Structure formats: C-alpha cells, structure tokens
Structure 1
Amino acid sequence: MRRVPLPLLLLLFLFVPAGCTSPPDGKPPADRWRPEPGLAWQWQLSGKLDPAVDVPVYDIDGFDHPKSAVDDLHRRGRKVICYLSTGAWEDFRPDAAKFPKSVLGRGNGWDGERWLDIRRTDILEPLMAERIDMCRAKGFDAVEPDNMDAYANPTGFPITATDQLRYNRLIARLAHDRGLAVGLKNDLDQIPQLVGDFDFAVNEQCAQYDECEQLAPFISAGKAVFHVEYELTTDEFCPGVRRLKLSSMLKKYELGVWRQPC
C-alpha cells in the first residue's frame, strides 16, 4: 500500500470541515428548507388530519402520520414539519421500550410523559437519530423537537444550561445531517446562543407571558417564528406579534384542527 506523503496528509486534514459527519445513507443532504418570517401555518397534533387548511406550512406528529399523508400535503403545496419529543419520554410511542429506566426522570405534566436525562447522549443520540431518520424517510421538510428546556424544569436530574446547549445543538446537527430544517422549541433564554444553530423557532404563549421580544433574534436573522397562544384573544395579542413579524394564531390546548390566525 502506498503511503500518503506527510505534507499532503496535512493539507488534506486542513480542508476537512471540523465535526463533519456522514448522512445515514451516505448521500449528501440536499439544501434544506429555510422558512422566512411571516409564513402562515397550521399546527395539528390531535384528531383526524385536515389537509385542506390554506396555509403554506403544516406541523404534524411524526409518528402518527404515514408518508402518504406527508406526500398529500406536498401535493397541496405545503411544507411539512415533523413533531417529535426529544427531551421527554412518552410511554405510548412504538420505541418507548428502547429507553432504559436510568434516563427517565420526573413527569413533565402530561400523561405518560417523563423528562429524559439529556446528559446521557451516549444513549439518547442513537435513539433520536432513529426518530429523525423516520421523519426523513416519510418525506418531512423539517423537525420540531419538543421539550428542549429541561434545564429550566424539575426533571429529577441535575441538568445545567450548558448540558441543554450541548443537547439542543446535537439535535440540530442530527436534523441538518439529514437535510432537514429544525426549529428551536421555546427555550427563550438560550436563543442568543442557539439562533445560529436552528432554522426557525416554535413558541407557545410568549404574548401571555410578555416574552415575544426575546424571539426577535430569529426574525432579525430572516428565520420564521411559528407562535401560538391559548388563553388570550386575538385582539389581545395579534397587534403586538404582527409588529414583530411572528407567524401567530390562537389554538386550543389539544391542538386539533381549529385555529384562529392573526
């Protein structure tokens, strides 16, 4: 076997991007979708999917819907976001048994859900990669990873802000390696550090808690902020979020078909 001359080897090393990883199927990812501010959207995580809402973006559950549903939305001219929980375990998911008890923390307030020990990336990275592979195989354009602010909640684990930044960037990289856009879900306090790692944001109730200004870095970077309120009326929150160029609507907590956009 011929040896590569040392100067050439060093030159090759200099031109290999740091942290470069291969996509799961060995193919380079296509240029991903990059949603811009102001896009209208539909967020439906319960009930029979209604594909007829006249908006350019749909956000639906990645496990609950087959590739045919994603294909149908694409035929209707929609971009489709794959909802996944990446920070909490759900006992009703088909891969629930793959999560060892050692990474399951306290309940997060929803039936059948428990916080994950996001420090254990040795366990969670391959499991989340499988989930994002599923999104890609079904043809989704993007991922909405939920429960991305464990460090700010009573999880049962000593999770720090640094742990959260590391984990959130891992999830973003897994999506990007597969050619998918990825959104930062809530986690407002870490937006300054993470806006460069994510392609859009998804937020709940920033108007109710007077936090919408914290999402401005995404808008300034030309990245959409998909936002919902549950308890305010549209008269109460729409004027303010329009000025900020958020993509906002009123929804019910069950996130069914019903929506009232700004």
Structure 2
Amino acid sequence: MLASCSVADGAPADAGSERPAGSQRPTGSADVLLPTAGMEYDYQIGEGYTPPEGVRAVSRDREDEPAPGLYNVCYVNAFQTQPGALPWWQDTHPGLLLRDDDGEPIIDEGWDEVLLDTSTAARRTQLAEIVGDWIDGCAKSGFQAVEPDNLDSFERSKGRLTKEHNAAFAETLAARAHSDGLAIGQKNTTDLLGRHAEIGFDFAVTEECAQFDECDAYADAYEDRVFAVEYEGEGDVSFEESCSTWGASISLVLRDLDVRPAGAKGYVRRAC
C-alpha cells in the first residue's frame, strides 16, 4: 500500500447513491455491477470532495458517503489496522494482531499500521466477522464495489504470513462482497494475480503499476477493468509516459501521495 486514509475504524454512516452511469453487469454468477474499462477515475480515500468534471468512478473511504450518480468503490483496510486504531484492536481483539517472537505487534512502519493475523482459519473467521460488517456497511451506504487494502501484507510480516493465508482471507471477503451485491477489486500485488478468478476478484485497483511495469499484467487479467493510481514525485516514469503507454485502455490518475481533497495545499490530480 502506498496511500492510506486516516479515518479510524468504526461503523459507516448511512448514505444513498443513484445508479451509476457507464457500468456493466458481469456475465458470471455474482449479481454485481462491474466498472467499465477506461472510465475516468478519481482516488479520494483521504477525504471525499466534488468529483472533477468527466469523472465517472471514485474510491472513497468506507466512512465517507458515495458520490451520487458515479461508480463508487469503498476503501476498506482489511489486512492491517488503520493509523491510530491500535488501541481499539488491543482492547477488543488483541489476538487478531500479528506479533513477533516477543509478543509485540508487527507494524507497517511506512503507515504506522499493525498487520492483522490471517495465519489460521480460526483467526480468518474472526477477522471476517469484523471486516465483513464493514463490507456490509459499504453496501448499505450505496457503494457499488469494495477494495480491501493491504492484500500484500504478507510481504511485511517477517515471514509469519504467506500469500496463501491472505488469498484464503480474500476469498472469504469476496464471497461476502458478492453476497452484498458488491463487486470486489484486487488491491495491488501481482503475486496473486494468477489466482484472481479463484479468489473472486472482479477488477483491480493498483498503485504505481506504471512505475513497476505491471499495468499490462493487471489489464490482461481484468480485461482493462483497472483503476490505476500514480503518485506525484514517486518513481522514474513520468505521468505523460504512463498515459502514452496505458491511458487509452485503463483508468489512470495521478494523485498526491497523501490523497488530499481538492482545495487543500499540496492537492494534485491529473487524468489522461
């Protein structure tokens, strides 16, 4: 994960949403609404704001309201805690935090988030009750899809988690999302791209796929149903180059690393 919102864990408020334009029904068994390849996108997980003209899809935090009339993707931090949420987890579910040999929580230092322990079926079941409630909330609020973040937490687990652990948990979350009528997006990690159909992912949300030369892999797997976020000042591939290579097929947007709302100092947003 490169960008993370700062909202603490909690139940989302109710909100309505009009039926989004420019989306399509899938041909599979899950009765969910898929995004349309190439629809203009905005990444608003830091704080929602009035979408720029032309935008047809947005990602917003699960505690935010969906944007009326657009395709709304609900951001859920499913594999790590939110910044500042550790006390809640310590008080209510200390056994679900991944710990080192000394019993100390293992932290994603880049974002001050503790990894959640997906290493056993029992813990995954308990986590699914919590995260599943959040996904239910996304559906109730009027979102059309969900993006469970930090699927790649096994890479930061000091060897205590594997991609199989996270794939198993993601499969449970996909089933929950589909039962709620939500599509579900794979968030990063090409390590699990070959298993996307088995897990149940419907589209992708990627961060810096251009910088890591991964956009084609996601586009091929999801028939161009890819929401790709690049960050200002990160990496060596310019946004102009990214747009020239991939902008005609996938939904590509440039944001500031802190995903600030429009009008805030440091706000950056460009689309191809």
TM over 0.5: yes
Report the CA distance shift for 1:195/1:238 in structure 2 as closer, same or farther (over 3 A).
farther
Query: What TM-score does the superposition give when structure 1 sets the normalisation length?
Result: 0.76
TM-score, normalisation: structure 2: 0.74
Q: 2:96–2:116: 8 Å Cα contact kept in structure 1? A: no
Report the 3-state secondary structure (helix = DSSP H, G, I; strand = E; otherwise coil) of the residue aligned with 1:89: coil
For 1:105-184, what aligned pairs fall within 5 Å after superposition? 105-119=105-119, 120-151=123-154, 153-156=155-158, 158-184=160-186
Which residue identity lines up with residue 250 of structure 1 in the other structure?
L
State the Cα distance separating 1:229 from its structure 2 match.
1.2
| Mapped partners of 2:77, 2:196: distance in 1 | 18
How large is the Cα RMSD of the aligned pairs?
2.4
Aligned equivalent of 1:260, options 248, 256, 270: 270
Give ranges in structure 2 of 5+ residues lacking alignment.
1-28, 99-104, 263-267
1:90 aligns with 2:82: yes
Structure 2 residue 210 is the aligned partner of structure 1 residue 216: no
Question: Is 2:255–2:269's contact at 8 Å kept on the other side of the alignment?
Answer: yes
Which letter does structure 2 place at the counterpart of 1:206? Answer: C
Matches of 2:30 and 2:186, distance apart in 1: 21
CA shift for structure 1 position 30:
8.9
Return the alpha-carbon distance in structure 1 between the equivalents of residues 204 and 108 of structure 2.
21
Compared CA separation, residues 47 and 154, structure 1 to 2 (3 A): closer
Match of 2:21 in 1: none
Give the superposition deviation at 1:195. Answer: 3.7
Contact 2:57 2:72 in 1 (8 A): yes
Percent identity over the alignment is 30
**Which structure has the greater CA radius of gyration?**
1
Q: Does structure 2 retain, via aligned residues, the 8 Å contact 1:37–1:219?
A: no
Name which of structure 1's ranges 154-163 and 167-176 shifts more when overlaid on structure 2. 154-163
Runs of 4+ in 1 over 6 A off after TM superposition: none
Aligned residues: 222
Structure 1 equivalent of residue 24 of structure 2: none
Shift of 1:211: 1.9
2:242 to 237, 245, 251: 237
Contact residue 42 and residue 53 of structure 1 kept, 8 A: no
Checking the alignment, whether the CA contact within 8 Å between 2:139 and 2:182 is kept in structure 1 is yes
Structure 2 CA distance for partners of 1:141 and 1:228, relative to 1, 3 Å: same
1:229 aligned partner, one-letter code? E
More helix by share: 1
1:254 alignment partner, SS class: coil
Query: For 1:43 and 1:206, how far apart are their aligned partners in 2?
Result: 15
Cα distance change on mapping 1:31 and 1:189 into 2, 3 Å? same
CA contact (8 A) 2:47 2:61 kept: no
Aligned position for 2:253:
249
SS in 1 for 2:35: coil
**1:25-74 deviations in Å (ceiling 9; x for gaps):** xxxx99311112111111112246224543111110112x2xxx32xx22
Q: 1:154 Cα deviation (Å)?
A: 2.5
Task: Structure 1 unaligned segments of length 5 or more: list them.
Answer: 1-28
CA distance in 2, matches of 1:124, 1:157: 20
